[in-house]
Amino acid sequence: MQLGGTSSGARAGSWAALAAGRIAVLVAVLLALGSLWEGYRWVWMSRGWTWPFEVSDRTMPHLHEIVAQLFRQWPEGGPVLGSTLLDAALFTAKEAAVGFAIGAVVGFALGAVIAHFRVLQRGLMPYVVASQTIPILAVAPMVVVGLGSGITVFGYAYVPADWLRVSVIAAYLTFFPVTINTVRGLHSADPLALQLMHSYAASRWTVLWKLRLPSALPYLFAAFKIAATASVVGAIVGELPSSIQSGLGGAILNFNQYYSAEPKNLWATNLVAALLGIAFFLAVVLAEKVVVHRAPERFA
């Protein structure tokens, strides 16, 4: 499709205006959320309302104090909390990214195989789909604790590194959506386009590479977006039962224990966790923009 004949100069100008508009909206949204928080806090505290919960410095610290906490030393004389949390976030990001990669590769491979054999599809898809309806994350403690004692396969013992055990959870959560959408995506090719490829006497591989895979990309990215978030959640939750202290999950557990002493630490940690989740999501969005050059379509 050819683009319209408007000059690139005008386009660059409108792009700058668009970017400025977006930043303005971002600032407005953040300000609105911030004032909602502070306003709620103020009204509930000044009225002494205790429903649905009692508002205090303990339950809802000032936003600016939460942000300021990131630049304070914790514990006293130690490193700045922000840098501790950054290290933790990077550790969790590593677990999540490795898990995401494993889950995506295995999920895609299985999806491709299932899509190729109809019998497999009828045999396996009901379970892959049903897996979407059950709280898979609940197995995290078993997998992480179980793998901690090492795994023996056909007599060969292997003890995975601590962070790798957590990655298994992230991989597990990535795997299912990717498998489902790979199957759907590979089947989504336009029947007419398939007939066209048939008329070229194209081989199965050519059809897969030149038609089925490109048609599947939007589906794949839709799955990657879900999985990006899920892998971060998996990494954080996976750290909880494994007594791994170096990640965000460990930090949350730790600061949760001392919440009454210093609630702002936990809030700051959650802020960092939220940013990590959004960063993972945006990374996938960016990758999609680079890889998929076509009119944006809506995929759930």
Residues at the interface with another protein (CB under 8 A): 1-5, 25, 29, 52-53, 58-59, 119-120, 122-124, 126-127, 130, 132-135, 137-143, 145-147, 149, 151-155, 225, 228-229, 232-233, 236-237, 240-241, 248-249, 252-253, 256, 259, 263, 266-267, 269-270, 273-274, 276-278, 280-282, 298, 300
Is the Cα dihedral 221, 223, 224, 229 positive or negative? positive
Q: Which is nearer to another protein, 1 or 201 (CB)?
A: 1
- Kindly give the residue spans of alpha helices, DSSP state H, lying in the chain: 8-47, 63-69, 81-116, 118-130, 140-148, 162-186, 191-199, 204-207, 213-239, 248-257, 263-291
Residue 247 · residue 235 · CB < 8 Å: yes
Taking the complex as a whole, the smallest distance from the CB of residue 202 to another protein amounts, in Å, to: 27
Cβ 239 to another protein, closest distance in Å? 10
Beta carbon of residue 300, minimum distance to another protein (angstroms, whole number): 6
Nearest alpha carbon to residue 171 among 64, 247, 95, 249: 95
Complex with another protein: residue 110 or 147, whichever CB lies closer: 147
And the tokens for 299? 């995929």
83/254 with CB nearer another protein: 254
Residue with smaller CB distance to another protein, 109 or 151: 151
Question: Looking at beta carbons only, is 9 or 135 nearer to another protein?
Answer: 135
Query: How many residues does this entry show for the chain?
Result: 300
Q: DSSP assignment of 202-242, as one string?
A: --HHHHIIIIIHHHHHHHHHHHHHHHHHHHHHHHHHHHTTT
Strands 156-158 and 151-153: antiparallel
In the complex, the smallest distance separating the C-beta of residue 28 from another protein, rounded to whole angstroms, is 8
Smaller CB separation from another protein, 22 or 198: 22
Q: Please report how close the Cβ of residue 77 comes to another protein at its closest, in angstroms.
A: 26
State in angstroms the smallest separation of the CB of 37 from another protein. Answer: 13
Name the residue among 126, 130, 80, 69 with its Cα closest to residue 270. Answer: 69
In this structure, are residues 155 and 227 in contact, taking their beta carbons and an 8 Å threshold? no
